[in-house]
A = this chain, B = another copy of it.
């Protein structure tokens, strides 16, 4: 199975770092041509399952304009230009919750939408989190943080109360490690 060959490429929208939409005419290895195939490059982000010293995990709840409802997420945020995913995870955890952690483990960096972009979400487990500051939010952020034990998070995934794909993946990957894989 070989890559598709790009015959022509045309940027329709360039609003990077948020979104760039490109349409391409591509030739498949079997000779079939697809016209105006769409790519949609989006911004990468990091997400953190942070376990505090007393065994709880900060979970944030905020309004999300995609589904136009409140959504539960683990602390997460977009990478700045050129920023290392781990540095972004540490920065966002501190900004959103005021926690710092020494013991970090990379869980996985997963493709967001393999048909449209190479962009990934970088998922981390951080153990031994301690609060050193109050949350520091910008004026577009309005979120509530609660501390949950891992069993609660799993119950919320099972009941679909937690229904954001990245958050589901990050919780289950973290629990796989914590359960002694």
Contact = CB atoms under 8 A, between A and B. Distances in A.
Contact of A160 (B63, B109, B115, B172): B109
Contact of A28 (B29, B66, B112, B142): B142
Interface string A114-153: 1111111100000000000000000110111000000000
B63 A108 contact: no
A147 to B, nearest CB: 18
A48 interface: no
Identical copies in the complex: 2
Interface stretch (A10-18, A49-57, A80-88): A10-18
A163 B110 contact: yes
Contacts of A166: 165
A1 to B, nearest CB: 5
A172 B69 CA distance: 26
A3 interface: yes
Interface of A: 1-4, 12-13, 15, 18-19, 21, 26, 28-30, 32, 34, 36-40, 42, 61-71, 73, 108-121, 139-140, 142-144, 154, 157-158, 160, 163-166, 168-169, 172-173, 176, 181
A73 B111 CA distance: 11
A29 to B, nearest CB: 7
Nearest to A121: B165
Contacts of A15: 36, 38
Given A108-B163, A111-B165, A169-B169, A70 B26 contact: no
Which of A18, A65, A116 counts the most B-chain CB atoms under 10 A from its CB? A65
Given A34-B140, A111-B165, A120-B163, 4 more contacts: A1-B143, A109-B160, A109-B163, A165-B169
